[in-house]
Amino acid sequence: MIVVLILMKIHGTMSKIAKKHLIFSIETDPSTDAVMDWLHFYDELVERKNTIDTAKEQNTIRLKQPTVNYASIWYRKVLGVSKRERIRSNDLSDPVFEIHRASFNATIKDEALIINDFYYTNFASEKILCDYYNIDVNKLTTLKLASKLNIDIPDTIVCTSKEELGLFIKNNPKGIINKSIDNHLFFDVAIQGERQSMANYTEEINTEILESLPNEFRPSLFQEKLDKEYEIRSFYLDGSFYSMAIFSQNNEKTNVDFRRYDIEKPNRKVSYKLPKNVEANLDKLMKRLQLNTGSIDIVKTIDGRFVFLEVNPAGQYGMTSYPCNYYLEKEIAEFLMKVRK
């Protein structure tokens, strides 16, 4: 009897030593550092692979090598999220290839994606936070699904003509905005010799802008402009919501998109509790999207609507954690350590 007990104890300790937590991240992510501090505090072992490491590891992949098992895996930041910037147009200088350059590039990109997908999913764990396969959410599918689950969404159109857009403006007398369909774009340009950062911020479309548009344009997303009372950023983790209200309306500068930061008088950010039914419906949405974490953007309108805008699975939760004193880094560390039932 005693022998068995001792053996079990040793086995217990050994499995703890053997199993590490795996975190995919980038070199400069303070949120990852903070979670790791908590894991170390609890004497857990952590292996962190930054994108610089994962890119290297992808150079050689041997399929017969056994898959490594981890206590947990957290896909905090992966190369796959920015798949497009990873694959550079290949140098096909030989004129023979020149005419087929586009299809060559497409094939190279597809192959790189296959390797990338394989690489990231070739690690095993019972506990996965922000699963690799669900990181890329389709904005349109998500909005439609939300609407089906009785979550209020903004009136939304994707169109390619000035005529359609004109009708949409007529239907939305309070105004409309233009938004990116996928990720936000940031780039630097030289304007009169000075480096300036450009980005595709959310922009209001008035009749003046409408008039200036060509008759046909690339598919673009437009939404009704919402009369904001405040914005809500809600961090979701395993069924719980950690919400924050952002009062951006006081401040003219940040009226349309609060990312246009105002340093001197920053927007008020305070802890917030969403109504129960809103939380219940959003919880259903996250479960349908198979996301156990994400940052959810909501607008509370002056007339009382809670309008869902989008969910970002790998969102910056530090911007919710610190102003509301939520200690989300500690919550995440404890989630990773919790033994799956």
Q: How far is the CB of 39 from other proteins (least distance, A)?
A: 9
Q: Which one, 287 or 338, has the nearer CB to other proteins?
A: 338
Q: Which one, 179 or 269, has the nearer CB to other proteins?
A: 269
Cα 208 off chain centre by? 33
Q: Which of 314, 316, 328, 241 is nearest to 284 (CA)?
A: 241
The footprint of other proteins (CB under 8 A) covers 37-38, 40-41, 245, 247, 250, 265-266, 268-275, 302, 322-327, 330
Whether the CB-CB separation of 158 and 181 falls below 8 Å is answered with yes
Alpha helices in the chain (DSSP H): 2-18, 30-41, 51-57, 83-86, 95-98, 101-121, 139-148, 162-171, 207-212, 276-288, 318-324, 328-337
Structure tokens belonging to residue 230? 């405040």
Structure tokens belonging to residue 103? 């299809």
Interacting residues of 294 by C-beta distance below 8 A, sequence separation 6+: 130, 235, 236, 286, 311, 312, 313, 314, 315
Q: Which one, 2 or 263, has the nearer CB to other proteins?
A: 263
Q: How far is the CB of 327 from other proteins (least distance, A)?
A: 6
Q: How far is the CB of 18 from other proteins (least distance, A)?
A: 24
Q: Which one, 37 or 204, has the nearer CB to other proteins?
A: 37
Whether the CB-CB separation of 83 and 56 falls below 8 Å is answered with no
Q: How far is the CB of 213 from other proteins (least distance, A)?
A: 34
Q: Which one, 166 or 266, has the nearer CB to other proteins?
A: 266
Q: How far is the CB of 130 from other proteins (least distance, A)?
A: 22
Q: How far is the CB of 209 from other proteins (least distance, A)?
A: 29
Q: Which one, 79 or 307, has the nearer CB to other proteins?
A: 307
